[in-house]
Amino acid sequence: MSALKYCQGPKCHTHDTKDRKRGPKDNKRNETRRRSRFYYLGGNACDMRCQSEWFEVYGSRALDHFGRITEAKVLTKDNAWTKRYDWRSREDGGYQHYIYNHLTDERRNITEQQYDNDQTIDDQGRLTI
Ligand SMILES: [Zn+2]
């Protein structure tokens, strides 16, 4: 069982919905949504509106904090690898796993273990096998 957490949208409480209402008739108020799980803003906002409002308020500051891209990132044949598979393409009904270079169109078959291994291609798209 996971603990309830609050939506991080800075204006969540201002959106007028039934589930945000609390308190007796003569002292009604709206509160920030609280759930065990959210699906927006990396699991921290209750909906797209709260996600977008978070970004309007904090987005630029987050970029300044974590570092902006200050020069072009470059995709070359050395970091253009992705893992793919053909569904039920083998004679035994199994999937044929392969790595694919989307700049050169090169394709190399790999094993399912290599496909499942997160290290086969690093987080920059470079091949490690
Ligand atoms: Zn919210």
pLDDT tens, position by position, 4-16: 999 999 999 999 9
Local confidence band at 38 (pLDDT 50, 70, 90 cut-offs): very high
Q: For the residues 82-93, what does the mean pLDDT come to?
A: 87
pTM for the whole structure: 0.66
Q: How far is the CA of 37 from the centre of ligand 1 (A)?
A: 12
Local confidence band at 90 (pLDDT 50, 70, 90 cut-offs): confident
Local confidence band at 121 (pLDDT 50, 70, 90 cut-offs): very high
Tell me the pLDDT of the chain averaged across its residues.
94
Strand partners, 45: 40
DSSP labels, the chain = -PPPEE---TTGGGS--GGGEES-GGG-EE---EES---BTTTTBSSHHHHHHHHHHHHHHHHHHH----S-----GGG-EEEEEETT-STTS--EEEEEETTT--EEE--HHHHH-TTSB-TTS-B--
User: CA-to-CA distance for 56 and 19, rounded, in angstroms?
Assistant: 24
63: which residues sit within 8 A by CB, 6+ positions away? none
Q: How far is the CA of 15 from the centre of ligand 1 (A)?
A: 8
Q: How far is the CA of 60 from the centre of ligand 1 (A)?
A: 20
Q: For the residues 31-45, what does the mean pLDDT come to?
A: 97
Identify the residue whose tokens are 């987050």: 62
Q: How far is the CA of 11 from the centre of ligand 1 (A)?
A: 7
